[in-house]
Structure 1
Amino acid sequence: MIKLLYVCLLENATLEAHSDDELPDILFRSERSPEASAKSKKNKKSASRAKEKNNDGEKGCRRQSLRVRVRDLGLGFDSDELITFFYCSGSCQQHRNIYDVTLTSLLKHKRITHSAHDRVSNHPCCRPTSYMNVSFMDVANNWQFVSHLSAANCRCVR
């Protein structure tokens, strides 16, 4: 019903409007109707809840980007070209399972110990699940291609 009212207002405004300035005002007034206002409040609450979930997710595993010079990558390429390097970062605490909780407890009570060469991971890690290839030109004007250089997707992995 509100859509029909909106269409009617739009048609009337188009027929009655003498200038383009009158049309936005009528549309704006229709958006301020009590029904539209109630829907807007619901949408704002939903958006707020989604934002809260996203804020939790922002602490979680996600893909980040950084603009860097190719020579700063440490791969031995001589190039001043800038690339966007994508990497994974964040916490995976929300993805812990019974195994992780049990392992944490055993480590805490020193039933399992870390050795000098063997580190036990008691939580999932934020890692790339797929990679992107990168191409750039070196100082000798040769194209270089590096496969699996940048993270395409990130996920908490065990």
Structure 2
Amino acid sequence: MNLIIEARLVDDLGETARAQLATIDRELTTSPLGLSLAEGKALLAAAQQYFVDGQCQGIAAAHSFCEHCESRLSIKGWHQRQIRTAFGRVTVRSPRGSLLQLRESGSKGSENPGRRGDGTARGRAGSAARDEWRARRTA
């Protein structure tokens, strides 16, 4: 007997993607009945990986256009990201896109989730605060 477990992911546009999460082969005996703990964990990990991949692809697609001129942003490359979920870590591919600046500036930058649009790092003190801290430290 074969148990084939499939998942269908329907996005906001109504497009459906299908994936086979697990195939479990069993003899027609009473030992073992149901899924083993290892098979259940593997099934849950596969479902979580598939769902998180779909979410990340949807987020990347939604943010692949310039907010100002609505032109498509180019992809500079890809990198691996580990996302912590309630059921463990999931590794996904994440695009590194080009960030278009306003036409007046004439420059392009790299979109990095850890940076603001003005080039300063999120969650860190600006250069003026850093200079003030250094001045107090050396005095």
* TM-score, normalised by the number of residues in structure 1: 0.26
Larger radius of gyration: 1
Q: Which structure's relative contact order is higher, taking Cα pairs within 8 Å and 6+ residues apart?
A: 1
- Greater strand percent: which structure? 2
